[in-house]
Amino acid sequence: MKVEQIYTGCLAQGAYYIESNGEAAIIDPLREVKPYLEKAEKDNATIKYVLETHFHADFVSGHVDLAKASGATIVFGPNAKTTYDAYIAKDGEAFKVGDATLKVLHTPGHTMESTTYLLLDENGKDYALFSGDTLFIGDVGRPDLAAKSDLTQDQLAGHLYDSLRNKIMTLADDVIVYPAHGAGSACGKNMSKETSDTLGNQKKTNYALRADMAKEEFIKEVTDGLAPPPSYFPLNVKMNKEGYDNIESVLEQGLQALSPEAFEAAANETGALVLDTRSPETFAAGFIPNAVNIGIDGNFAPWVGTLIPDIRQQLLLVTDDGREEEVVTRLARVGYDFTIGYLKGGMDAWQQTGKEVDAIDSIAAAAFAQRYEQDNAIKVVDVRKPGEFQAEHVETAQSAPLDYLNEHLAELPNEETMYLHCAGGYRSMIAASILKARGYDNVVNIEGGFKAIAETSVPKTAFVCPSTLK
């Protein structure tokens, strides 16, 4: 029996490949399905089942494409309703995969169809739990993401409490927990960087599994401090329920190489958003006017989902040479299927035609400190999350979290210079590009963000441990 976790850092998502005696099952696959097909082929195995723990909100699962490509059966737990062929399993139902067995444990709470799968080895011993968003390492799934649920988040949290106590905590301590997400995912609020653990250790360390925890305490602690979910979450749920275009069609459309002239014409004719995925530093030095920068080497897909509210928005890409397919694939993972081409030859080709180029001023933290010393009334805008800002910030800074930047535009002056920073420079360049596209010409990015500012003499508030903040 082989169990492999396939972890994708940019989405903080874990998919799973289980193989035994020539048969395989895939749990919660990502949109691109070739890696799973290749693993099965290498093992000379047939993919028998594609198991979904729930209707994911933060990514588009590859279950539909994978089932078509492999002939496997899609399996959901009780309460799931789909518009494509899928087997809706009963609580306690078992599925044989070679000599191993996957048992369905219906665990409603995160959503009402949420299901975990218990893997029994060749000897029938409980071996591992694929816990979806029901149980994370260090946390449990937030109970407020169920689209169109008739239940309140408190009622869902109550279901989650019962599921954990009655279906999961009764399992043996040596069962391995394999969750669907880790730190960085918006599906929980306190997830560990670890991507697996024993259930016994989770019983000792996970706040939500305290043995003496009453249901009322659980509901209060699990629902406390939840940030609003990104706007693309319900749209991804809809795609996972109703299906989507084949990933190969999405790639074919998105990988059209456009000359600068064709790229410009496409932008003018379609109203497509120009998305520049190069590094913040490279973007700042020269970009197509009105382009938005979201660097591929960061939390790319979640930021796209957060900042581009319409997943049907047409996109034109400026990428690093050779990374076009990676960008289109990562966009498709969160449902952005309408990429219509990329700039062939990149910014070099654009500039060689003499077309207009914009730039964003940047300043080193030390130089910023000198300006601040001369005039501490200069406008400093901190685009980190509220918790980061509350923990410590430049004394005179204004908080304008990138997640909600559009809501703060009325508070940001376009007649004076604004010095933007985040923690390290990734988010502030995104913010700077958005502000530039909105007509704010006087934005200056502070290189290295708060990490670099903290090493200067710029006065800051006293540090407060984030874990003590409400």
The parent domain of residue 137 ranges over 2-235
- Strands 46-51 and 2-8 come out as unpaired
302 part of a folded domain: yes
pLDDT along the chain (470 residues), means of 10: 94 96 98 96 98 95 97 97 97 98 97 97 98 96 77 94 98 98 81 93 96 97 85 91 94 98 97 97 97 95 90 96 97 96 98 97 97 95 93 96 89 93 97 96 96 96 72
Helix (H, G, I), strand (E, B) or coil at 119: strand
The answer to the question of residue 310 being in a domain is yes
Q: Which residues contact 308 (CB under 8 A, 6 or more apart)?
A: 273, 275, 315, 336
Q: Is residue 268 part of a domain?
A: yes
Rounded to whole angstroms, the Cα distance separating 125 from 260 reads 61
The answer to whether residues 344 and 372 belong to one domain is no
133 near 220, Cβ under 8 Å?
Answer: no
Q: Of 318, 353, 388, which one is at a domain's C-terminal end?
A: 353
DSSP string across 122-175: TTS-EEEEEEETTB-SS-B--TT--TT-SS-HHHHHHHHHHHIIIIITTS-TTP
Please check whether residues 217 and 81 belong to one and the same domain.
yes
Within a domain: residue 240? no
Domains in the chain: how many in total? 3
For residues 315 and 347, state if they share a domain: yes
Residue located via tokens 């959901």: 76
Same domain, 87 and 156: yes
Do 116 and 17 share a domain, yes or no?
Answer: yes
First and final C-alpha spacing in the chain: 45
**63, 85: one domain:** yes
Find the largest Cα–Cα distance for the chain.
74
Give yes or no: residues 225 and 250 share one domain. Answer: no
**pLDDT at site 468:** 58
Residue 428 lies in a domain: yes
Q: Is residue 6 part of a domain?
A: yes
Neighbours of 81 (CB within 10 A): 10
Domain boundary among 324, 353, 382: 353
- In degrees, rounded to 5, the angle at the alpha carbon of residue 160 between the alpha carbons of residues 156 and 165 is 150
Which CATH number fits the domain that encloses residue 42?
Answer: 3.60.15.10
**DSSP string of 275-341?**
EE-S-HHHHHH-B-TT-EE--SSSSHHHHHHHH---TT--EEEE--TT-HHHHHHHHHHTT---EEE
Tell me: do 23 and 167 sit in the same domain.
yes
Report the length, in residues, of the chain: 470
CB atoms within 10 A of CB 210: 14
In this prediction, residue 147 carries a pLDDT of 55
CATH number of the CATH domain containing 391? 3.40.250.10
**Same domain, yes or no: 43 and 179:** yes
Helix %, strand %, coil % of the chain (to 5): 35, 20, 45
Domain-terminating residue out of 319, 353, 387 = 353
Same-domain status, 288 and 436: no
Note whether 340 and 374 are same-domain residues: no
Residues 229, 277, single domain; the answer is: no
